[in-house]
Amino acid sequence: MNNDFDDLDRALFALPLAEPPPGLRQSILNATVYAPAPAIAAPVQLWEIVAAGTAVAIGVWLIFALVVYKGFAASFDADVVATLRAVLNPSALIWLGAGSAVTAWLTLFGPSGLRLPVRGARS
């Protein structure tokens, strides 16, 4: 198929590549090799962020409740049981599932997907 195009091939392969703008390599290196190491070295999974956020929120809420509401500690056990009963009924679970599904769908397929801040990394 390509036997007829030998001269064209030679001319194509002889074409010089476009010259990159000055500073491109340095800006790439600054954004990659020389970029400051992230605070968390290992790649962080989404579920880890969600779990950490949930744990912090529960902790803050517990401290707040202990400080503000007198007798909270005494009634904590009963409150936990009542909360679990409220959360673990079928209609609450359905609503929780629906909310989680919508959140997951919007996160994965929504119009504003996560974009890398490349322009900002320029030197």
Q: Give the sign of the dihedral formed by CA 86, CA 88, CA 94, CA 97.
A: positive
Nearest CB to another protein, comparing residues 85 and 122: 122
Per the structure block, which two tokens stand in for 110? 């929504």
Residue 108: CB minimum distance to another protein, A: 16
Closest CA to 118 of 59, 57, 32, 55: 32
Instruction: Candidates 50, 82, 104, 121: give the one binding another protein (CB under 8 A).
Output: 121
Q: Kindly tell me which of 44 and 102 has the beta carbon lying closer to another protein.
A: 44
Restricting to residues 32-71, name those near another protein by CB under 8 A: 32-33, 43
User: CA–CA separation, 86 vs 33, rounded Å?
Assistant: 51
Nearer Cβ to another protein (38/71): 38
Measure the CA–CA gap between 100 and 104, rounded to whole angstroms.
6
The residues that touch another protein, with contacts defined as CB under 8 A, are 1-2, 5, 8, 11-21, 24-25, 27-29, 31-33, 43, 116, 118-119, 121-122
